Amino acid sequence: MKPCKKTLELVLKEVLSDIISDEVVVGVSNRHLHISQNDLEKIFGPDYKLTKMKELRQPGHYAANETVTIIGPKGKMDKIRILGPVRKETQVEISMSDAFKLGIKAPVKESGKLEGTPGLTIVGPKGTLKTDKGVIVAGRHIHMPKFIADIKGYKDGDMVSVETSGERKALFHNVLIRVGSNVVKEIHLDMDEANASGASNGDFVKIIRD
Q: Taking a C-beta distance cutoff of 8 angstroms, is the pair 99, 106 a contact? A: yes
- Residue 3 pLDDT level (bands cut at 50, 70, 90): low
pLDDT in tens, 23-51: 999 999 999 999 999 999 999 999 999 99
Rounded-to-integer distance, Cα 60 and Cα 186, Å? 15
Q: What is the mean pLDDT of residues 52-62?
A: 97
Residue 8 has a pLDDT of 64
Q: Taking a C-beta distance cutoff of 8 angstroms, is the pair 26, 185 a contact? A: no
Q: What is the mean pLDDT of residues 86-96?
A: 98
Residue 7 has a pLDDT of 72
- Residue 21 pLDDT level (bands cut at 50, 70, 90): confident
- Over 70: is that where the pLDDT of 112 sits? yes
- Residue 64 pLDDT level (bands cut at 50, 70, 90): very high
Domains of the chain with bracketed CATH: 22-28+139-209 (2.40.40.20), 30-138 (no CATH)
**Run of H or E including 151:** helix 146-152
pTM given for the model: 0.89
Q: Which residues contact 52 (CB under 8 A, 6 or more apart)?
A: 62, 63, 64, 65, 84
Residue 116 φ then ψ, to 5°: 80, 15
Residue 4 has a pLDDT of 63
